[in-house]
C-alpha cells in the first residue's frame, strides 16, 4: 500500500466485493474522506456507543445483535461503525484507527469480511438478491448515512414498489459465511430491515443464527422488531437505539448545515430525534406540504361526511408505493396525537411546522379522549394491512369510512 497527497491506494483481492477484473485492480480511497462510518460520525447515541465499546474491551462480543430503533436514529450507522471497530487492526479506546487496511476498505463498504443484506425490488421474472444491487447500495449509503426505506426503494426502482428480502437471499448468506476470513478478525453479516424478509427466509435465517460459524457476528438492524419471528428475537442481543437527543441533533445541524442556533434547535425539536425527518424538513423548508395536504383533505372529508371527496382522496393515495403510504399513515398518527396535545396549551410538547400548526390550531378541538384512540387504532390497522400487501384502495377506503363516525357533529 502506498500513500500520495492524502490518497491511499489499496490493492483489492480478486475475491473482494467490488473488484472488477476488466479495470485496474487498484482502488483509490480518499483518506480525507475515509472517516465515514466511525462511532464519532454517529449523531448522539453516546450510551449505545459506550455499551458496544465496553463489550469489546471485556471480551464479550456476541454472535448476534439486534439494533432496534425507529427510522432516522442511526441504527445502521452504529452497526457499520461497530463492524469497523471489531475488524480494525489498531483500534483505539473509543473508535477505529481510520488508517489500517481494514478501516480503509470498510470506509468504502468493500471489506471482504463485512457483508450486507437488504431489501431489494423485483424486476422481471428473476428474483434478485442484495448482491445484484451492491454497487447502488454502497454509493447510496456512503452518500446518505441517514435514510429511509422509501428513499432506498426510490433509488433503485420507480418508487411504486416496496422492497423485500427474498428466500433466495439465505443461500447467498450461507455461501458467504462458509468462506474463510480474508483478513478480518470477524466475519460480519449486517442485515438491514430483517422484518422485510419473508417467512421462508426468516426460518432459514433462524437456522444459521442457532449454529453460526466461528468468529461470525450477525447484526440485524430493524425499525420494527415486533414483525420478526419470536425465535429470532430470542437468539439476538437487543441493542435499543433511541431517538437522537435534541442537543446532539442541533449541534450537527449547526456545524454541518451552517444553521443559526435558534433555527437549528427549532428544526431538531420539530424532527423529534429523527435525522431523516430533519433533512427532509430542511430540504422542504420545514413544511411537509405533501403529507400535510393529504392529512387535511382526509380529515375534512371524513368530518364533513363527503363520500365523493373520500373516494377522490383514496384514488390519489392508493397508487403511491406501499412504503410511502405507510409513512403517510405514520405521519397522520403523529398529527392526531399532536392535535390532542395541542388542546392542553403546552407548546413545548408539540413539534409542528408553521403550516401544520396553523391547521392544528383549528382542528384540535375536534380531537378528544373519545375519538383519538379509535382513530389511531384504525390508522395503525391500515398500516399493518398495507405492510401485508393488502389492496391499498380497499384498505384506505375502509379506514376512512370507519373514521367518519368518530367525529361528533
**Confidence band (pLDDT; 50, 70, 90) for 127?**
confident
Judged on CB neighbours under 10 Å (0-12, 13-18, 19+), 409 is exposed
pLDDT at 74 over 60: yes
Q: What φ, ψ does residue 11 adopt, rounded to 5°? A: -75, 130
Neighbours of 126 (CB within 10 A): 9
Q: CATH top-level class for 33-240?
A: alpha beta
Q: Does pLDDT of 116 surpass 90?
A: yes
Residues of the chain with CATH 1.20.272: 287-404
Give the tens place of pLDDT for each residue, 201-233: 777 777 778 777 888 899 999 998 888 888 888
Among the listed residues 162, 161, 236, 227, the one whose alpha carbon sits nearest the alpha carbon of residue 199: 227
Bridging pattern class, strands 64-68 and 237-240: parallel
At 345-390, the pLDDT tens digits run: 766 666 677 788 889 999 999 998 888 999 999 998 998 888 777 8
- In the chain, residues under CATH classification 3.40.50.300 are 33-240
- % of the chain at pLDDT higher than 90: 38
Task: Identify the pLDDT of residue 310.
Answer: 95
Residue 14's pLDDT is what?
Answer: 37
Please give the average per-residue pLDDT across 177-204, as a whole number.
83
pLDDT at 54 over 50: yes
Sign of torsion over alpha carbons 247, 253, 255, 260: negative
Distance of alpha carbon 378 from alpha carbon 358, whole angstroms: 25
Q: Quick one: average pLDDT of 92-119?
A: 91
Name the pLDDT band for 283 (thresholds 50, 70, 90). Answer: low
Residue 363 contacts residue 339 (beta carbons within 8 Å)? yes
pLDDT at 27: 34
Least confident of 72-76, 133-137, 342-346, 395-399: 342-346
pTM over 0.85: no
Whether the per-residue pLDDT at 298 is higher than 90: the answer is yes
Average of pLDDT values for 45-57?
Answer: 94
- For residue 347, the model assigns a pLDDT of 62
Backbone angles phi and psi of 65, in degrees to 5: -120, 150
Q: Does domain 287-404 have CATH number 1.20.272?
A: yes
Q: Which candidate, 266, 297, 320, 268, places its Cα nearest to that of 400?
A: 297
Query: What integer pLDDT is reported at residue 348 of this predicted model?
Result: 60
Which helix (H) or strand (E) element contains residue 154? Answer: helix 149-156
How far apart are the C-alpha atoms of 158 and 394, rounded to whole Å? 23
Instruction: Report the first-to-last Cα separation within the chain, whole angstroms.
Output: 75
State the chain's mean pLDDT as an integer: 82
Amino acid at each position: 500500500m502506498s500513500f500520495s497527497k492524502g490518497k491511499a491506494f489499496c490493492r483489492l483481492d480478486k475475491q473482494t466485493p467490488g473488484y472488477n477484473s476488466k479495470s485496474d485492480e487498484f482502488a483509490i480511497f480518499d483518506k480525507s474522506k475515509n472517516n465515514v462510518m466511525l462511532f464519532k460520525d454517529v449523531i448522539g447515541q453516546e450510551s449505545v456507543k459506550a455499551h458496544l465499546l465496553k463489550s469489546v474491551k471485556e471480551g464479550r462480543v456476541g454472535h448476534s445483535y439486534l439494533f432496534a430503533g425507529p427510522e432516522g436514529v442511526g441504527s445502521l450507522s452504529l452497526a457499520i461503525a461497530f463492524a469497523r471497530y471489531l475488524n480494525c487492526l489498531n483500534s483505539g479506546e473509543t473508535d477505529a484507527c481510520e488508517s489500517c487496511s481494514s478501516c480503509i476498505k470498510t470506509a468504502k463498504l468493500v471489506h471482504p469480511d463485512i457483508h450486507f443484506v437488504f431489501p431489494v425490488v423485483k424486476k422481471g421474472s428473476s428474483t434478485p438478491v442484495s448482491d445484484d444491487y451492491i454497487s447502488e447500495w454502497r454509493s447510496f449509503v456512503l452518500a446518505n448515512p441517514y435514510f429511509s426505506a422509501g428513499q432506498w426503494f426510490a433509488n433503485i426502482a420507480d418508487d411504486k414498489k416496496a422492497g423485500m428480502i427474498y428466500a433466495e437471499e439465505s443461500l447467498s448468506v450461507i455461501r458467504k459465511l462458509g468462506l474463510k476470513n480474508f483478513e478480518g478478525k470477524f466475519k460480519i453479516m449486517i442485515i438491514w430491515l430483517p422484518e422485510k424478509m419473508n417467512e421462508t427466509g426468516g426460518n432459514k435465517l433462524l437456522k444459521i443464527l442457532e449454529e453460526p460459524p466461528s468468529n461470525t457476528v450477525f447484526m440485524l438492524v430493524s425499525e420494527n422488531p415486533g414483525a420478526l419471528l419470536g425465535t429470532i428475537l430470542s437468539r439476538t442481543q437487543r441493542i435499543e437505539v433511541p431517538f437522537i437527543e435534541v442537543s446532539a441533533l442541533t449541534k450537527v445541524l449547526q456545524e454541518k448545515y451552517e444553521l443559526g442556533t435558534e433555527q437549528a434547535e427549532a428544526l431538531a425539536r420539530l424532527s423529534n430525534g429523527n435525522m431523516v425527518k430533519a433533512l427532509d424538513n430542511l430540504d422542504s423548508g420545514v413544511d411537509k406540504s405533501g403529507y400535510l395536504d393529504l392529512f387535511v383533505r382526509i380529515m375534512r372529508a371524513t368530518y364533513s361526511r363527503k363520500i365523493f371527496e373520500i373516494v377522490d382522496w383514496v384514488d390519489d393515495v392508493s397508487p403511491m408505493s406501499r412504503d410511502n403510504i405507510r409513512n403517510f399513515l405514520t405521519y397522520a398518527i403523529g398529527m392526531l396525537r399532536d392535535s390532542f396535545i395541542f388542546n392542553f396549551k403546552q407548546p413545548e410538547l408539540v413539534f409542528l411546522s408553521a403550516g401544520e400548526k396553523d391547521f392544528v390550531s383549528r382542528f384540535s378541538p375536534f380531537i378528544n379522549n373519545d375519538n383519538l384512540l379509535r382513530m389511531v387504532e384504525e390508522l395503525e390497522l391500515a398500516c399493518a394491512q398495507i405492510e401485508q400487501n393488502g389492496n391499498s384502495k380497499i384498505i384506505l377506503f375502509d379506514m376512512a369510512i370507519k373514521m367518519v363516525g368518530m367525529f361528533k357533529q
